Structures are given as C-alpha cells and as structure tokens.
Amino acid sequence: MLASSYRRLGIVLAAVLLLAAGPFAAVASAQTDDTSLRLAPTPVLDVNLTTQGFVLPGPNPRSAGLSTFHVTTQDRTGHYWATFNLKNGVTFEQVSQWFHDGELPDLSIAVPALHNLYTNVDFTGGVAVYPTSPIDLTIPLKRNIVTYITDTVLPDFGGGGSAAAANADAPNSAAAKLPLAVRAVGQAADRALKQAPKAVAATDEPPSPFGFLFTTDTTNITRPPAFSAVLEAVDVNGRAKLYPAGQFKGNGAFLFRNDATLPQEAQFEKIDPGTTDADVQRFYDSLLNHTGGVPYPFRGEPGGVLLLSKGNMVIMGANFPAGQYCILSFPTDWDTGIKQAFEGVHKVVTLH
C-alpha cells in the first residue's frame, strides 16, 4: 500500500512539473496554445566525442534558455560527457581534488569530499554515449554563468562500454565520471578560463577533454523537444527513489527531473525479459556482501543521463532497441560512500 501511494504521488508530481517547469512549461501549453506551437524549435548543437576530446559549436557566448546537444562518438568503449556549474566561488582545481578524494576507499576522506562536491557543484546533466546510439540532451542553460563541460573516454570492459560494468567492481567508491583525477587538469582549466576566456570558447580550437560555455543576460524562449514520459527522483525515507510516468519509447524522449537531495542519474542498461528490480538488487547485495553466486543481470549499453543536481531537469532523446531496461543512478551516497544504485536507486522499465 505504501509503495503504491508513493507511485501515485510520483505520477501526480510529474504531471505538475510539466505545467510549472520553467523553460519546459511550453511543452504542456503547446498542446493547447497555438502561440507556443509557433515558437522556434530549440537549437541543436552537434558534439562529436573523440579520444582527443570535443569541439563545442558556437555561438559562445550564447543566450540562456534551452539548448539541445546532439552527442555522438565513434569510440566503441563510449564516453562520459558532463556539464556543470560551480557555486560559492570554488575553482575547478578544488572540484578536481574532491572528485579524486571521493573515490578513495578511506571514508574519512571520501565522505567529506563528497559533501564538498555535492554542495559546491551544480550538476546540469550529461550523457553516457556509445557508437550504437547518439543521444540528444536538452539543457536549460542559466543566465550569466559559465558551464563547465568535461569528456572522459571509458575503459575497455570487453565488448564495449557499460555503466554497470564501470561501477560493478567498486561499490564503495565514487565513479570516475569526469576526467578530474589529476589535479593539473583543474589547474589548467582555471588558468585557461582566467587568462583567455574568449580563446577557450572559440570553435576553431582543437578538440579538448574540457570546455566552457558562456551565457549572456538574455534568454531565448524556444519550443522544447516533445517527450512521452517523465522520470522523477524523489526522497523516500532518506533514500532516493525513481518514479517513471508515461510511455517510455526506444525511439523517443523523456523528461528527467531530480527532486532528491543527492545528485542522480538515469543510465539505461539492457536486461533480459523477466528481470525484476529484486533481481538487480540481489546482484548488488551479493557484491556488497562479497557472497557472489548471483548472475550478472545487465547486457551492456546503450547509455543515458549523467549527474543531475536537485531541482534540475533535462530532456533526453535516443534510439534504443525496444525491450526491458534497468534505469540506474550511480552517484555515491555522501553518507555511506556507496553508490546509490547498490542501495536500490534503480528501476526496471519497458521501452516500447
């Protein structure tokens, strides 16, 4: 009864969000308002990820508002491409150190680092992307702010990349979602931004694993991409839960909003028909308890949304094969040092 009540609450909240979601409100009104239908579509920026990094298309700076990034890669192991803003005057170098320390097995170091990271960084979304399926990510860019963008080439797990494979062998440490383990990367980014921001933003620069997107004090109001489903993360009894609403389509889009305290993700892993959330949790429990004996439930790829802070939302569009998937959220719990997917932040859905 309690679970069904929470599910109904999630669906109600999702419906409300469509009507009061700031830049995304036009999606709901477009169904009945001819004026909204006459809005120009959200601009699409093509971003191709290589082993050298990426080049961000112009204009830069650009107006705030919705921007869709069409992210592709030819690297078979895949990429993690992430966007975020810095708060409270922190530097990229500090963020680099916190990401590094948050991965350490010593919780006396990792837990404070995660608290610093989640408090001082506003994660605005990103994608785990593989050659099999480009991803469109629509982000509401905020006014007068610098968006940091980083790219990580995934290790070769055999047979291609996989979010589950990237995280399964390290349940007690933070996943390396950004190329921030080396402090020099943060120093170089801070130095480049301070000394030559316009040069850093130029589209004729060579590919780089990090970049900057600047916004002006104006907002461009555009028509968001259509979507058929909503995924909402909320806190229930001190832990995040994922609540899906609507019809998830393999060839389509969904809105992902995080209302949970900790950053969340929505990474899709193919699973065999009939696999349940209980099966997935038994696998993670076997890793945490070092008991083994539970079959690996994931079949790899195709990708999804990376870290999203509380109060933020994105629209993700992709073309995944129809079937059953598990949506997982891997950001590390800042109290336990355990990845949230291991603690139950996952949800099995069917893509039609």
pTM of the model: 0.86
Q: What is the pLDDT of residue 170?
A: 56
The CB-side HSE value for 293 (13 A sphere, CA atoms) comes to 4
Calpha distance 98→50 (Å, rounded): 26
Q: Is the pLDDT of residue 13 over 60?
A: no
Q: Is the pLDDT of residue 301 over 80?
A: no
**153 pLDDT tier (thresholds 50, 70, 90):** confident
Does residue 212 or residue 270 have the better pLDDT?
Answer: 270
Q: Which range among 4-8, 50-54, 286-290 shows the weakest confidence by mean pLDDT?
A: 4-8
Does residue 312 or residue 206 have the better pLDDT?
Answer: 312
**How large is the C-alpha radius of gyration of the chain?**
19
**97 pLDDT tier (thresholds 50, 70, 90):** confident
Dihedral angle sign, alpha carbons of residues 240, 243, 249, 255: negative
The mean pLDDT value of the chain amounts to 84
Calpha distance 297→74 (Å, rounded): 26
Q: Which range among 59-68, 152-161, 257-266, 332-341 shows the weakest confidence by mean pLDDT?
A: 152-161
* b/e code 33-67 from CB counts within 10 Å (16+ = b): eeebeeeeebbebebebbeebbbbeeebbbbbbbb
**199 pLDDT tier (thresholds 50, 70, 90):** low
Q: What is the pLDDT of residue 229?
A: 97
Does residue 8 or residue 189 have the better pLDDT?
Answer: 189
Calpha distance 101→181 (Å, rounded): 9
Q: Which of 113-127, 147-161, 172-186 has the highest mean pLDDT?
A: 113-127
Domain that holds residue 54: 2-351
Q: Tens digits of per-residue pLDDT, 133-151?
A: 999 999 999 999 999 998 9
Calpha distance 338→343 (Å, rounded): 7
Q: Is the pLDDT of residue 316 over 90?
A: yes
Average pLDDT over residues 246-258: 97
Average pLDDT over residues 314-322: 97
**292 pLDDT tier (thresholds 50, 70, 90):** confident
Q: Is the pLDDT of residue 243 over 60?
A: yes
Q: Is the pLDDT of residue 351 over 80?
A: yes
Q: Is the pLDDT of residue 30 over 90?
A: no
Q: What is the pLDDT of residue 324?
A: 96
Q: Tens digits of per-residue pLDDT, 121-132?
A: 999 999 999 999
Q: Is the pLDDT of residue 60 over 70?
A: yes
Does residue 36 or residue 143 have the better pLDDT?
Answer: 143
Average pLDDT over residues 209-216: 88
Q: What is the pLDDT of residue 168?
A: 66
Q: For tokens 């209302």, name the residue.
A: 259
Domain count, the chain: 1
% of the chain with per-residue pLDDT over 70: 77
CB proximity list for 9: less than 8 A, separation 6 or greater: 234, 243
Q: Could you give the 3-state DSSP secondary structure of residue 4? A: helix
